[in-house]
Amino acid sequence: MERRWVLSLQREGRIVRQGNLNDEVEILNYVTKGTLDSYLYQGVTDKARGIAQLWNDTCISRTSEDIDEKVLTFGELEAAAEGNPKLRQFSELKNKIDELQVIRAEYNKETTRVERRIKELPETIEAKKLLIASAKNDLITAKKMQTDGKLEELKLITHDSKTLTERKHINSYLAKLIQLRIEKPYDEIPSFKVGDFKINVAMSADRAHPDFAIKGERTAAYRIGVGIGENTDNCQRLMNFFDKGIEKIIEIDTQSVEKDETDLTQAIERAATKFPSENEYQETLKAFEELEIELTTGGYLDNGEELAGSEDFGNCETESIEINTDYDENDLTQEEYNSTI
């Protein structure tokens, strides 16, 4: 099939190549009725359709699989040579089934993923709601440290129970803990407190920039990045968090729960929806099976049970061969041995 296509391109190349003095050329492609031309051109058409889907980004599946070449049986060759139109119908039905099976398999895989998501989402939603509830309690605790809705100063209690209120002393203390964490990323280092919140300098994905891990009633610690450098004001970072940070986290978690609940509703609806082209697939499969039986019964398709004309040898006599179980292949006479050399 590829050779036929290449030869066609070569022929056209000879027509339109440089040196042709004709202003116009007409290229005709002949298809002879009653030959394999129609079957071969159909194969080229199928390939062109698949290439066009990939080129135009309209592929019916997210994956492209190599499909075996169409192989004609002897019966199909005979039917094609005779110009039997049902052979083309048979091939078209088979191609349509293959296409629908790819879409159907992808749809079923997506359904499986959706069903797994339906099992996971309720637990995820419940866990997020618990985080929101405990974060609201932390927000109440943080509000107690504010004056007129704003945190005016940070009161930090060090690991050795010293109270720091001046910004420069707090930043100096924090800088030492941050540097210690960078130098000893896996060692335990002292923690400190701000109000009822316990704070650690914790490792992050970037070892050079740790996080502040702030623990209140919320089961998961709040994490904010630390600043590195002489002029970094980590005291202000903590003050900003206790001013507005908890409220923002509650807002983000609430939006996340709403999205998960919407996803759960849509997932349940999606899982209950059958393959949209299921009726078309079943009808095509039924038509294909009926046509396959008709062509097989008519001798146009090989059923794989016997070779054509085998009935002509049904009455042939065969010679019975007896096998001597006592025979030793090494037990040869000199004459027999010489004949093998």
With b meaning 16 or more CB within 10 Å and e meaning fewer, what string describes 58-83?
A: eeeeeeeeeeeeeebeebbebbbeee
| The pLDDT of residue 168 | 93
Q: How confident is the model at residue 321 (pLDDT cuts 50, 70, 90)?
A: very low
261 neighbors 254 (Cβ within 8 angstroms): no
Query: Is the pLDDT reported for residue 107 higher than 90?
Result: yes
| The pLDDT of residue 24 | 79
- One-letter amino acid for residue 7 of the chain: L
Helices (H), 278-327: 278-297
Average pLDDT over residues 90-112: 91
3-state secondary structure of 303: coil
Average pLDDT over residues 19-27: 76
Q: How confident is the model at residue 64 (pLDDT cuts 50, 70, 90)?
A: low
3-state secondary structure of 147: strand
Average pLDDT over residues 52-70: 55
The pair of structure tokens assigned to 183 is 């130098």
If you average pLDDT over every residue of the chain, what do you get?
A: 80
pTM: 0.60
* pLDDT tens readout for residues 254-280: 999 999 999 999 999 999 999 999 999
